[in-house]
Structure 1
Amino acid sequence: MRGMFATGPLTVGDPAGDGGRLRVRDVAGRTFDERTGQPLNPSLRGYVADMAAPYGIAVREELIEQGAGRSYGEMCVPLLAELVSEDRPADLLVLATAIPDVHLGRATATYLSWQCAGAPLAFAVCDQGLLAAFTALHLIEAYARTGECRRAVLLVAEQPTLFHELPAPAPVPDRAAAVGVVLDTAGSRGALSVRRHTRVAERDVAGVLAAEVAGLAGDGPEPAVLLGARLAGMVTVRSGGDVRVCPPNQPFTGAWLELSRGFSGWHESGARVLLAEYEPGLGHLFSAAIRCGG
């Protein structure tokens, strides 16, 4: 049973440690432009072929032969070394992805737990499209309310290598990238709030998002707004603060990379930051608000 943890649903009404309000303590991001040439796994070709065959999807034999791609474990371990230390260990680690890892035989979240100070409880959130990172944050908030999670790490990662053709059009990045976000109940760099709007028609997205931005208005600098790839071209945000739109070539991590690039400056000025993304197929608009310097 070593390396395995069994848990159940969170208990409603559990007391919250330190108020249960997580704050973003630090953020770091990295991009990777070159492929590593992973050693060829002899069983990979058969595994991918078996998975793709029932759906009539072509296998990309040349990428398997090249050992193409960069694994999420390889990408995220340096972020953990930068963000988490033995004197400030993590209690929870959540990996959010939209594209499968190239290291198909590894339980990546478990592997990352072993590489993280504190050997935290770890799991992955996937099959949520571009909204996976927001779902991960929502779950981290819930764990914080139990009082058992003082420090959590969110890892948001994407990579462009698929060993089979896409069964339907979907956004794919042109390079690998990973972002780590440390959330701490004892931190002071901005309280976190995650909001999930469901059944939002495309015509209503601008109004809902405008209300989200207005909700952050107050004393101090105007809020910064980081829009995900699906919101690019859909809405025009009216804010006196910094507005950044995720480029289509980095659809999953783009907004989070912008958070890593601007966070120290926003914290210094006390600005508020709103990250938002929309999934038109589901009609879901998710957002995460960070009150920097709170």
Structure 2
Amino acid sequence: MPAQTRGLRVTRAVAAGFADHAAAALHPDLRTFTGDLVRPYGLPLREDLLSAGAGHDYAEMGAALLERALPGGEPADLLILAFSSPDVRPAAPASLRLSSHCPGQPTAFAVCDQGSAAAFTALRLAALHHRTGGCRRAVVVLAEQSALHHEPPEPVELPLEHRAVVLVCEEAPGEGLRVRGQNQPDGARALRAARDEHRRLGDGAALLLSAGLADHGLPGGAEAARPGQPFTGLWTLLADRLPARRPLLVADHDRRLGRLSTLTLP
């Protein structure tokens, strides 16, 4: 008999906002690092945010959710942190610190500098790692914090609050999650492409859209993330809906990078 297909699926998700700030936001190293980073580009520091200690620590945020995401202490084989806005502890790899708080002390690394596509890249890498036979449970931590400690070179959308989401991906019988991406600078065309992919899943398939993608129209039966959280908003919606009806398509569009990303949960 042929071996049964087994794939990696998102089985659990937890999300939370964080109203306070991290002690690391007041550490002098943050000013030094940020100043060195932006000096070649002539960008001024946000002295008001640095003096106020605004911002949060991604390792602290993620660690606060890991116990809820893995209440039975189930060990993970892989942990991936994904983010789009800078952490307040740039010199201390948050993914490695999170691994020490995660049951199993899994292999850990981070994905960044990809805008909203970073979350999808993390899930794609988890699925690829599963196919090697070395990963039966992966934890994907998504985080954003609202303080940018320098003036941006162009307008950017910053989150309204510090927020983190933890996705638990586990091996299960059947087809696993699928991630796709395509270059598409036009938001309206990106929405049409997402709708076409959703229709191919058949009647009864669910559709979750990012707030930015839904700005171009909300198809009947689809749900949109609340605005104000450009990186974690869509995944907070997924956490609220799990276990959702399947199949399910999750879609986001990064306007600045011109990238459409989709996740199919069978």
Give the TM-score of the pair, scaled to structure 2.
Answer: 0.90
Inter-CA distance 217–175: structure 2 relative to 1 (3 Å threshold)? same
Task: Name 1:261's counterpart in structure 2.
Answer: 240
Inter-CA distance 202–114: structure 2 relative to 1 (3 Å threshold)? same
CA contact (8 A) 1:70 1:159 kept: yes
Amino acid at match of 1:226: L
Task: Name 1:215's counterpart in structure 2.
Answer: 200
| Separation in 1, partners of 2:87, 2:135 | 27
| Separation in 2, partners of 1:185, 1:161 | 36
What pairs with 1:38-57 in structure 2 (closer than 5 Å)?
Answer: 38=24, 40-57=26-43
CA contact (8 A) 1:102 1:162 kept: no
CA contact (8 A) 1:85 1:117 kept: no
The farther-off stretch of 170-179 and 66-75 is: 66-75
Shift of 1:204: 2.9
| Percentage of pairs with the same residue | 37
Match of 1:194 among 179, 193, 197: 179
| Separation in 2, partners of 1:153, 1:184 | 9
| Separation in 2, partners of 1:214, 1:158 | 31
CA contact (8 A) 2:84 2:113 kept: yes
Shift of 1:250: 0.8
Task: Name 2:148's counterpart in structure 1.
Answer: 162
Task: Name 1:226's counterpart in structure 2.
Answer: 208
CA contact (8 A) 1:177 1:253 kept: yes
Does 2:50 correspond to 1:64? yes
Offset from partner CA, 1:15-43 (integer Å, 9 cap, x none):
xx974510122111101233355463233
Inter-CA distance 101–25: structure 2 relative to 1 (3 Å threshold)? same
What pairs with 1:7-86 in structure 2 (closer than 5 Å)?
Answer: 19=5, 21-36=7-22, 38=24, 40-84=26-70
* Aligned-residue CA RMSD (Å): 2.3
| Separation in 2, partners of 1:40, 1:202 | 38
Structure 1 segments, 4+ long, off by >6 Å, are none
Aligned residues: 264
Amino acid at match of 2:106: P
Inter-CA distance 260–187: structure 2 relative to 1 (3 Å threshold)? farther
SS in 2 for 1:185: strand
Listed as ranges, the gaps of 5+ residues in structure 1 are 1-16
CA contact (8 A) 1:23 1:187 kept: no
Shift of 1:105: 2.5
CA contact (8 A) 2:115 2:257 kept: no
Shift of 1:230: 2.6
